[in-house]
């Protein structure tokens, strides 16, 4: 865990989902494989050729944008894949129920946090897949708001879902804390815009949040 910045007054905790609220790299990697396989079918080329195309687009973007990276969701837009297709493929292909299980310790942690903070999830997956993931983990009741790419219409890194959340809750952006596993995707822009930010490397670090935040 790395605490980048904690506002003096926090009212909302904004969690990423994938590899933040669970540790299964098997599930996470399956998403990439399935999505890339569908992309290859769509383009009519091999999986390896597709991987090479994606890698080339990402490398060119890094060279032109001060080494910032594109997410897979952003990269496929460069290959002519529409947002609607992106959403449809994810909802069809991804199966969190096949990889994840109930996490009682996570549920207890979020129950404690909910007593003090409002909570929401912002994901680069669809809200449908996000909700299914939260449900299989047994924590969907703690997230009354889940903003996926089907709602924000943009993949992180972007401030749009965070701004949408601030507007919906009528809470200033500088009273929100972003918690996620990728600095460039989940934290960099929120920090630049006044939000707090905590980098999570594994879900066991999420379990520590009540004691950490209690000391603010």
The tens digit of pLDDT for each residue in 124-162 reads 999 999 999 999 999 999 999 999 999 999 999 999 999
Please tell me the predicted confidence (pLDDT) of residue 140: 97
Query: Do the beta carbons of residue 84 and residue 45 sit within 8 Å?
Result: no
Task: Please list the alpha-helical segments (H only) found in the chain.
Answer: 25-43, 47-64, 72-78, 83-93, 104-114, 127-137, 149-152, 160-169, 188-192, 203-206, 209-214
Strand partners for 120: 14, 145
Query: Do the beta carbons of residue 150 and residue 87 sit within 8 Å?
Result: yes
What pLDDT band is residue 67 in, cutting at 50, 70 and 90?
Answer: low
**Cα dist. 130→16, 37, 63 in Å?**
9, 21, 32
pTM of the model: 0.94
**Cα dist. 60→27, 56, 63, 154, 188 in Å?**
28, 6, 5, 21, 21
What's the token pair of residue 104? 């009682």
What's the token pair of residue 10? 């926090």
Higher pLDDT, 58 or 211: 211
Q: Which residues contact 215 (CB under 8 A, 6 or more apart)?
A: none
Domain 2-23+100-214: CATH class, spelled out: alpha beta
Residue 201's CB: how many other CB atoms inside 10 A? Answer: 12
* Segments making up each domain of the chain, as ranges: 2-23+100-214, 26-97
pLDDT of 171 above 90: yes
Buried b (16+ CB within 10 A) or exposed e, 18-37: bbbbbbeeebeebbeebbbe
Residue in the block written with tokens 């680069």: 124
CA-wise closest residue to 81 among 50, 60, 56, 127: 50
């Amino acid at each position: 865990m790395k605490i980048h910045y904690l506002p003096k007054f926090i009212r909302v905790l904004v969690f990423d989902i994938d590899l933040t609220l669970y540790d299964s790299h098997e599930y996470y990697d399956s998403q990439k494989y399935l999505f890339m396989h569908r992309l290859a079918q769509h383009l009519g080329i091999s999986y390896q050729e597709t991987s090479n195309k994606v890698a080339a687009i990402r490398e060119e973007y890094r060279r032109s944008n001060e080494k910032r990276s594109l997410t897979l969701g952003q990269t496929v837009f460069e290959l002519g894949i529409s947002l609607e297709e992106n959403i449809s493929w994810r909802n069809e292909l991804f199966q969190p129920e096949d990889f994840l299980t109930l996490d009682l310790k996570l549920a207890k942690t979020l129950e404690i946090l909910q007593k003090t903070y409002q909570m929401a999830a912002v994901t680069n997956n669809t809200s449908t897949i996000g909700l299914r993931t939260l449900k299989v983990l047994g924590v969907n009741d703690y997230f009354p708001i889940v903003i996926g790419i089907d709602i924000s219409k943009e993949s992180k890194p972007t401030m749009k879902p965070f701004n949408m959340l601030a507007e919906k809750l009528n809470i200033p952006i500088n009273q929100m804390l972003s918690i996620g596993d990728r600095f460039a995707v989940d934290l960099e822009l929120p920090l630049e815009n006044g939000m707090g930010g905590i980098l999570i490397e594994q879900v066991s670090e999420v379990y520590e949040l009540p004691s950490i935040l209690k000391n603010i």
